[in-house]
Structure 1
């Protein structure tokens, strides 16, 4: 759980807050009117967060790339037994 502190108090105690984050391993959330505004985290935590973002982005790219290898719409039509196809200019029907 993060330690919360109002922005006005954080200004006065910035050096102490930095020490709490760096040496105490705490996370500090600075608030304004009771709402979270910013967070102070150690450089190690930031590096971990950024690394997690890269991993998540790579997973998204792999997922999107795999969609391209899925079956096409005509193959799905055959799979589900859909016989009629609209060709655009041809109004003929398969009866």
Structure 2
């Protein structure tokens, strides 16, 4: 859990907050009127967050690519070529 501090207090204690983040491994959330405004995280945390973001974007692109491939229709004659023997026939197509 992150340490929360009001923006007015954070201004006065910025150097100390930076030390807590860098050397103490803490995350600091600066608030205004009790609502989160910004967060102080270490450079290592930021790098990890950014690499996670890049990985998520790449994964999303892969899903979009695979999804679009799945929507391609079969080429003519493919059913016979791959041994699919049955086809649906309507009532009018019966061989009686």
Q: Same fold (TM over 0.5)?
A: yes
Spell out, residue by residue over 1:35-90, the C-alpha distance to the aligned partner (whole angstroms, 9 max, x if none): 00000000000000000000x55555655665565548999999999999999999
Unmatched tracts of structure 2, length 5 or more: none
**Aligned residue for 1:60?**
62
Assess if the C-alpha contact under 8 Å between 1:84 and 1:94 holds in 2: no
Compared CA separation, residues 34 and 89, structure 1 to 2 (3 A): farther
The number of aligned residues is 93
Q: CA RMSD in A?
A: 5.8
Larger CA Rg, structure 1 vs 2 = 2
Q: Show the counterpart of 1:88.
A: 90
Structure 1 unaligned spans of 5+: none
1:73 alignment partner, SS class: coil
